[in-house]
Structure 1
Amino acid sequence: MSFKDDLDDLETAEDFLRFFNVRYEQRVVNVNRLHILQRFHDYLAADTGLESLDDEGMTARYHAHLERAYQDFVVSNAIAEKTFKVHQEEARKMADRFVPLDALLNPSS
């Protein structure tokens, strides 16, 4: 079987994490599974050199991207990371509603 064939058999975030030997805490995955997989996909999409690699090189690169995607959500959360469009839109709305502290303390300025 080739690397691509092995990937076809992976379905869950845990499948990917186990396949690429990324150590993980189940509680992090339970809360962020879709976000981790989306970020992993984003990192892969941005990696322009993947197609030139052999299976071993691809495995190493995929591992690195999945490890990075997982760690993003160990140290942060989905809202802060703005993984999905809904989070990006919410962050934009929040920025539009931002009122500087000076404006509250000095309303006449």
Structure 2
Amino acid sequence: MKPFRSHILLLTACILFVAAINPFNAAAQFNVKLVVTNYVKLHSSDDVFLAGNFNNWHPGDKQYKLSKENGKLVFNLKHFNPAVLEFKFTRGSWDKVAVSS
């Protein structure tokens, strides 16, 4: 689980960096590509979604479903306004999320 956390921390740092490089242009928008390279294979047949402050924390929002590409989970967050991005990966409901450390 530690490698997964390090990927998330690195991704969060990258997103915060992108938000910080243009603090004066509120109209700026970015496309952010999330790539999960190391994920739990136990539930690999389940769909994975993003829930966060950008979709009112909806755990099974079909617009935020990750796709599987070459053994990786991928999602393109388009027209993202620079801000703090908070999110969690789910398998479609709050009953199916990682809760232990």
| Structure number with higher strand proportion | 2
Q: TM-score range by the shorter chain?
A: under 0.3
Q: Which has the larger radius of gyration?
A: 1
TM-score, normalised by the number of residues in structure 2: 0.26
| Structure number with higher helix proportion | 1
Higher normalized contact order (CA 8 Å, seq sep 6+, divided by chain length): 2
